[in-house]
Every structure is written in structure tokens, then in C-alpha cells.
């Protein structure tokens, strides 16, 4: 295998890091640096942005990277866009790991929103108790609906005042399970759930809990990224990395 850059921030990126370390691969793991104590990785790890497309291109050239695996979260679209353009400019092969989107199941009451702004608009006007399961970014977009009480589940304690007047903050790191999420939503009297369609198992518990409690879910669709080779499992990514002609 040649030198690899693994763009992380997801459970699957961590699984890939373990497999690459076990295989003795020459790989670097990259975090954006959004959380105070990121999960430690069994690979050399760098933290922080590269400085846009040009910065990433320079990094790829400077570090002699031959392959990039974009295993960022499906809503980390800027990083994915940058990776497509920087890899093209530097002549580096890129593949993205992408989880299948969640699909509604029988009993689900999903309202589809095309963007986070649309999710805020889809909330009712009458005061509600909303489990706003979108992480810490973009909370300000919900300031347009200040009448609601928002339950936020965050990895770190907020360091700055929140842009919403009525909140409860739950500090927790996934994966979560349905029993725990059902109890959480009952305890907080939740009436609506707002979720990003991240896919994967670790964050699906809130959807199972909402289904069992008969709660509506405002499901935000994924942002667009340019076309790139996409693989759907960790095993496929490992096979791609070990295939010289891929």
C-alpha cells in the first residue's frame, strides 16, 4: 500500500483506522478538530483544517500522499468538495466511504426537509419540545423559532452562550441505543425530532425511539457533493486501497 490520508470524524473512519493500523499501512488520520477530546486513533493523527482546496493540495504533495479516503460525515460537505478538487489537482486517487441513507419504515412519520433552514421552517408555530439532534453547528438557524424548547445532545459542554433561548443540553457521545433514546425523549416530553439523514447504525436509535413513541421526525436530506468514487463498506475501502490499479 502507498501513503494514505484518511479524513475522519465518523465511526467507520475509526474502523478503517484500526484495519489500516493492523495491516501496517502508511496512513495519516485527519480530524477537523471540532471536539475537545476526539477518539484517539491507532494511526499518526493530525488535527485542523488544511486551508481550503489549495491547502489540501499542498498537504497531499508535501506528504507524498497517493490515496485519500474521505470517511467524513455525510453532512461535512465542504471537506468532501475540497477533497475532490484537491485530489484532482494533485493527481491523487480518492474514494469516499458513504453510508446508505436511512429510509422511512412502517410507522414512521417523517417530514422531509431539503436543508437545515427548511427543517426549522417545518417546525410548528405553537410551542413544542424538540429533540434537535443535529450537533452543535447550525443551531442559530433555529433561532427563527424561539418559542420551542430544544433538547440538544452534544459531545462537549458548550463554550459559548447558545443561540436559542430555551434549551436543555445532554452531553453524550454515540453510539446510542433505542431503549436509551426512548427514555431520553420520554423524560424530556419530546414532541418532535429533527435529524440529519446521516445513515449508519450509531445514530439510528433516535428514529427507532421516535417510531415507538409515535413522534414526527423532520429528516434533513444530505447536501450535494461532486461526483466521486463511492464505496459503501469498510471492507470495500480496504480492498480499493490494496488494489494497485484501482
Interface residues toward ligand NAP, by CB under 6 A: 7-10, 30-32, 34, 49-52, 55-56, 72-73, 75-79, 82, 135, 137, 196
Rounded distance between C-alpha atoms, residue 20 and residue 71, angstroms: 13
Nearer to ligand NAP, 213 or 222 (CB): 222
Nearer to ligand NAP, 95 or 191 (CB): 95
Nearer to ligand NAP, 191 or 196 (CB): 196
- Burial (CB count <10 Å: 0-12, 13-18, 19+), residue 57: buried
> What one-character-per-residue DSSP string does 117-165 give?
HHHHHHS-SS--EEEEES-STTGGGGGG-TTSEEEEEESS--SS--SSS
Minimum Å gap between C-beta 112 and ligand NAP is: 17
**Secondary structure class of 85 (helix, strand, coil):** helix
Rounded distance between C-alpha atoms, residue 178 and residue 180, angstroms: 5
> What one-character-per-residue DSSP string does 2-49 give?
--EEEE--SHHHHHHHHHHHHTT--EEEEE---SSSPPP-SS-EEES-
Minimum Å gap between C-beta 101 and ligand NAP is: 14
Minimum Å gap between C-beta 154 and ligand NAP is: 11
Nearer to ligand NAP, 77 or 162 (CB): 77
Nearer to ligand NAP, 75 or 142 (CB): 75
Minimum Å gap between C-beta 17 and ligand NAP is: 12
What is the rounded end-to-end Cα distance, in angstroms, of the chain? 12
Rounded distance between C-alpha atoms, residue 201 and residue 226, angstroms: 25
Nearer to ligand NAP, 36 or 126 (CB): 36
The pair phi, psi for residue 118, each rounded to 5°, is -65, -30
Minimum Å gap between C-beta 167 and ligand NAP is: 18
Minimum Å gap between C-beta 106 and ligand NAP is: 27
Amino acid at each position: 500500500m502507498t501513503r494514505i490520508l484518511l479524513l475522519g470524524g465518523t465511526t467507520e473512519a475509526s474502523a478503517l483506522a484500526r484495519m489500516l493500523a493492523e495491516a501496517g499501512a502508511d496512513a495519516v488520520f485527519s480530524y477537523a478538530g471540532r471536539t475537545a477530546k476526539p477518539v484517539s486513533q491507532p494511526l499518526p493523527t493530525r488535527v485542523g483544517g488544511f486551508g481550503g482546496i489549495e491547502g489540501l493540495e499542498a498537504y497531499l504533495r508535501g506528504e507524498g500522499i497517493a490515496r485519500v479516503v474521505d470517511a467524513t460525515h455525510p453532512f461535512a460537505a465542504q471537506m468532501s468538495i475540497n477533497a475532490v478538487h484537491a485530489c484532482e489537482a494533485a493527481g491523487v486517487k480518492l474514494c469516499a466511504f458513504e453510508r446508505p441513507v436511512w429510509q422511512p419504515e412502517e410507522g414512521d412519520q417523517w417530514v422531509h426537509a431539503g436543508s437545515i433552514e427548511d427543517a426549522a421552517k417545518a417546525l410548528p408555530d405553537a410551542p413544542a419540545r424538540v429533540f434537535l439532534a443535529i450537533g452543535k453547528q447550525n443551531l442559530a438557524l433555529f433561532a427563527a423559532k424561539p418559542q420551542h424548547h430544544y433538547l440538544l445532545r452534544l459531545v462537549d459542554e458548550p463554550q459559548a452562550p447558545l443561540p436559542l433561548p430555551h434549551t436543555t443540553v445532554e452531553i453524550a457521545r454515540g453510539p446510542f441505543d433505542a431503549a436509551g433514546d426512548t427514555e431520553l425523549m420520554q423524560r424530556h416530553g419530546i414532541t418532535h425530532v429533527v435529524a440529519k439523514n446521516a445513515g449508519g447504525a450509531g445514530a439510528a436509535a433516535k428514529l427507532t425511539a421516535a417510531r415507538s413513541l409515535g413522534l414526527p421526525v423532520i429528516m434533513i436530506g444530505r447536501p450535494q457533493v461532486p461526483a466521486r468514487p463511492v464505496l459503501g463498506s469498510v471492507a470495500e475501502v480496504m480492498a480499493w486501497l490494496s488494489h494497485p490499479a484501482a
